[in-house]
Amino acid sequence: MKKEIKAVVIRPKNYNSLKELPVVYLLHGYSDNYAGWITKAPGFEKLADQFNMMIVCPDGGFGSWYWDSKIDTTFKYETYISKELVEWIDAKYKTIKDRKGRAITGLSMGGHGALYLAIRHQSVFGAAGSMSGGVDIRPFPHNWDMAKRLGEYSLQPEQWEKHTVINMLHLIPPKSLKLIIDCGTGDFFYEVNENLHQQLLYRNIQHDYIVRPGVHNWPYWQQAVKYQLLFMHEFFNEKS
């Protein structure tokens, strides 16, 4: 995209004494930026110490949905995060340079983005999660700048069908991708998450599914991220 993009990079306090570390890429939601997690969920970064992992919070632009847009070619956030950023982090830090040491998760737009990127780039990410994710975009054709990235749903239905997570499950081979889905029962995305869960069950795709009382807000995500990072930690230990 020919521009400088900021990211928060969190290292554990014993980074210098460790040989190599796994990395979790943690995506923000719509209208937020790279600093959203660190400023709105303070304290979560201590889990990097507890789990001996790095956490990278990239900037996903305003309403990119982490796609490479064919409508607006200035939005290529799929390429940025799944390729350029991963390569940059691996070159600069002591990371496990393999899918067994990489995971990705996020909230809302970032929940959809994390699953979308992981499914499309299974050689890069070994585990993926979603918190309150917009995991089926089709019920929301006029929301959150999605039409600016894909075109109007009424005019470009095939783009919407191809760019929504719930339609991509056929791309997941058996036992290839570790998945964790979390959504509050009072969330406006609850129904699409429940539908995703049912589709994963139908296809016999192993996954963790967490449902708790809660809505689409930071108090919910401050709790949810703890489960996500624990899940990723266990994935990393299993693979090591």
Q: Percent of the chain having pLDDT more than 90?
A: 90
pLDDT band at 162; cut points 50, 70, 90 = very high
pLDDT over threshold 90, residue 167: yes
By the 10 Å C-beta count (0-12 exposed, 13-18 middle, 19+ buried), 202 is classed as: exposed
Residue 12 belongs to a domain: yes
Query: Domain range spanning residue 191?
Result: 7-239
Farthest-apart Cα atoms in the chain, separation: 55
Residue 1 belongs to a domain: no
pLDDT band at 28; cut points 50, 70, 90 = very high
Name the region of 31 (left: φ>0; alpha: ψ -120 to 50; beta: rest).
left
Q: What is the mean pLDDT of the chain?
A: 95
SS3 sequence, 92-140? HCCECCCHHHEEEEEECHHHHHHHHHHHHCCCCCCEEEEECCCCCCCCC
pLDDT tens, position by position, 108-149 = 999 999 999 999 999 999 999 999 999 999 999 899 899 999
Number of domains within the chain: 1
CA angle 205/207/174 to nearest 5° reads 30
Residue 71 belongs to a domain: yes
Residue 136 belongs to a domain: yes
Residue 2 belongs to a domain: no
pTM (2 decimals)? 0.96
Q: Would you say 58 and 117 are in contact if contact means Cβ atoms under 8 Å apart?
A: no
Q: Are strands 54-58 and 7-10 parallel, antiparallel or unpaired?
A: antiparallel
Residue 31 belongs to a domain: yes
Q: Residue 230: its pLDDT value, please?
A: 98
pLDDT tens, position by position, 43-82 = 999 999 999 999 999 999 999 999 988 888 888 999 999 9
pLDDT over threshold 80, residue 232: yes
CATH code of the domain covering residue 231: 3.40.50.1820
Tokens encoding 141: 């054709």
Residue 173 belongs to a domain: yes
pLDDT band at 150; cut points 50, 70, 90 = confident
Q: Residue 240: its pLDDT value, please?
A: 64
Q: Residue 239: its pLDDT value, please?
A: 66
Residue 233 belongs to a domain: yes
Q: Residue 134: its pLDDT value, please?
A: 97
Q: Would you say 76 and 68 are in contact if contact means Cβ atoms under 8 Å apart?
A: yes
CA distances to 33, 54, 218, 225 from 14, rounded to whole Å, are 27, 11, 29, 22
